[in-house]
Amino acid sequence: MLRRPAPDILPTVTRHLTLLIPGLLDTPAAPLSHLLRSLGTQLPPLSALRYLLSRARLSVAKKNILDLLADVLAIPGNPPPWAALALRGDEGAPGSDYWLNLEPVVLQPDRDCLRLVACGELALSADQAAALVSELNDYLRVDGLTLEAPRPGRWYLRLPADPQITTVPAQQALGADVAEIMPYGKQQAFWRRLINELQMVLHASPVNQQRLTDGLPAINSVWPWGGGALTTPVWHSPYQILFAGSAVMRGIAACTAAQVLPVADDGEELLAAMPAEARALAMLPGDFSLSTHGDPMHWLGIMDSLERAWFEPLLSALKSGNLRGLTLLFADGREFSLTPAQLRRWWRRVRPLEAWL
């Protein structure tokens, strides 16, 4: 008796993707509508994004992007030790010491205040960063502090103990009057004085004089934030794969044994890199708010590109069952979760994007 060949057994698809999109829904609807009318244009259709948002289950859990990351990745600590995690991601050795991000920033006068207008890489070369850090360390070591810069734009300050201050992340401080968001707490007087004195060191640096000659902004201050000690160097995360390029995400992956992959160019490429049973988190690089990009027409083009590269393929994957769960996270704390079954909730009409802004 002839036997039929056994059919190929396909793996059960249970893959779930959490996609974090900084700034995408941060633009208020009324000012946006007025701006678009004045330009004689309108939002692109964004049919897939609107479909996903309208059929999803909405919850609001946190208030900013770091709180979101801490929640979904189950990071220990309140608040988590962001600086120590980033140092780990930059292949440093945080150990159990207390670390602060001491981020190089640009302050700019604005009438009767100073505003933080730029942070991050700031076109700093490795030689410039090394020179600035050396000058700052000559001053810091008097107080038992040590500054390290494994990357030109990422500086980490090692402290002998908890500084007992509350800080605001540099990205969150962009555009703010720095007098209103300086470190506060039991040791605030020391830290405010220290920042002022480090500003004087930076002002006198030959590096900044050369940057001004080259048409680059002077690194005229530093910004402390994200302090903590990595007292729990290993913990369990619900994700096996992290698609991200930031130092913090690499540090989290090192502590959770998650695999780190570069963010794909689009949703189709990302899903192809995910095993059938994986849970993954992807954080799209950049900030997708209109205020960050400035030019409305350029921003509209970015929205249209996101639709075609990400939302259309992910919606298609949900409909086909190639993706069993999708969660869209936004920096204001909103979480949109849906499954293939939830896509069939026909009674939920597809709303215009302005309803979610």
Tokens of 30: 């009324």
Residue 124 has pLDDT above 50, yes or no: yes
Whole-number percent of the chain with pLDDT over 90: 66
**Would you say 357 and 25 are in contact if contact means Cβ atoms under 8 Å apart?**
yes
- As beta bridge partners, residue 325 has 16
Is 326 a residue whose pLDDT tops 60?
yes
**SS3 at position 129:** helix
Give the Cα separation of 307 and 234 in Å (integer).
37
> Is the sign of the CA dihedral 183, 188, 192, 195 positive or negative?
negative
pLDDT at 333: 80
pLDDT digits (tens, 9 = 90+) for 272-320: 999 989 999 999 888 787 777 667 888 888 889 999 999 999 999 999 9
pLDDT at 99 over 80: yes
- In angstroms, rounded to a whole number, what is the distance separating the alpha carbons of residues 21 and 289? 10
Cβ(150)–Cβ(90) below 8 Å: yes
DSSP string, 139-197: HHGGGT-EEEEEETTEEEEEESS---EE---HHHHTTSBGGGSS-EETTHHHHHHHHHH
Strand order in the sheet with 16-21: 57-60, 334-338, 325-330, 16-21, 279-283, 241-243, 259-261
- Looking at residue 100, what DSSP letter applies? E
Its pTM stands at: 0.86
Is residue 88 over pLDDT 50? Answer: yes
Residue 69, pLDDT score: 87
Peptide bond preceding 79 in cis form (omega within 30 of 0):
yes
Neighbouring CB atoms inside 10 A of 56's CB total: 21
Q: What are φ and ψ of residue 195, in 5° steps?
A: -60, -45
Average pLDDT, integer, range 25-44: 78
User: How much is the pLDDT for 19?
Assistant: 95
Task: State residue 242's pLDDT score.
Answer: 94
Report which DSSP code applies to 91. Answer: T
Q: What are the structure tokens assigned to 12, written together? A: 């059960």
Nearest to 59 by CA among 353, 328, 350: 328
Residue 2 pLDDT: 46
Residue spans per domain, the chain = 16-75+235-356, 94-229
> How confident is the model over 160-212, as pLDDT tens digits?
999 999 999 998 898 899 999 999 999 999 999 999 999 999 999 999 999 99
pLDDT greater at residue 233 or residue 314: 314
pLDDT tens digits for 53-79? 999 999 876 667 888 889 889 999 989
* C-alpha–C-alpha distance, residues 156 and 148, integer Å: 5
